[in-house]
Structure 1
């Protein structure tokens, strides 16, 4: 299964190292994914979806299966707000939220949920 990720500060990029068994691709404007994929994204500003993620989803949202959010709990209600917005806008599940670079336990939860969704 393909795992697309967006990382501004490196937190998400560090986190995906825990998810060794997945084919990973970094979100960029012109990247096309022609198969089902999961998205891990950070939140920018005060709860906005990063611009590169918006552009990426314009061309790839039809293959989006679910989304995962990375954030900082210091932002209160804006914690993982981008992932929540994407889940709502594209009618896909938000399968997990983690703080900063996450933990191995977060990765296990995500891998388990992805496996469950793949099985249907």
Structure 2
């Protein structure tokens, strides 16, 4: 399993590091020159009360055909804009939303993410209603 991720403040970094510790999955932090080598899942964050980070957007525009789901960190103080980057990427690129979590996520969030990717992804295709549980 491969996870591509973007992090600004370290919240997504911490989330991904916990996922890796539990699962042993591979993860690649998105850089401007990142070229994915295999299919995977995308985890990002939401900025400016509801925007997708530019680096994440550019990566998704180029490589959305290799992305099987998108998840996002956010802050519940933003109300309806909480982790909305996942919703925007899902809508624009026909991707299922895996999970929306607050800041660096709780252990419950991490285990839910692992369960979604591990169990629900394998018996569904992109744009699966089963995967869209966020």
Report the equivalent of 2:44.
41
Report the equivalent of 1:113.
116
CA distance, structure 2, for counterparts of residue 24 and residue 34 of structure 1: 11
Report the equivalent of 1:3.
3
Aligned residues: 120
Could you give the per-residue CA deviations for residues 8-51 of structure 1, whole angstroms, max 9, x where no partner exists?
A: 11011011111122100001121011321101110111211100
TM-fit CA distance, 1:60: 1.3
TM-fit CA distance, 1:95: 1.3
TM-fit CA distance, 1:114: 0.6
1:91 to 79, 89, 94: 94
TM score, norm. by length of structure 2 = 0.84
Report the equivalent of 2:55.
52
- What runs of 5+ residues in structure 1 fail to find an aligned partner? none
CA distance, structure 2, for counterparts of residue 32 and residue 119 of structure 1: 27
CA distance, structure 2, for counterparts of residue 47 and residue 71 of structure 1: 9
Q: Is contact 1:38-1:65 (8 Å) kept?
A: yes
Q: Is contact 1:43-1:49 (8 Å) kept?
A: yes
CA distance, structure 2, for counterparts of residue 5 and residue 110 of structure 1: 14
CA RMSD of aligned residues (A): 1.2
Could you give the per-residue CA deviations for residues 48-73 of structure 1, whole angstroms, max 9, x where no partner exists?
A: 11001111112211101001110000
- What runs of 5+ residues in structure 2 fail to find an aligned partner? 125-134
SS at match of 1:69: strand
1:102 to 102, 105, 127: 105
Report the equivalent of 1:67.
70
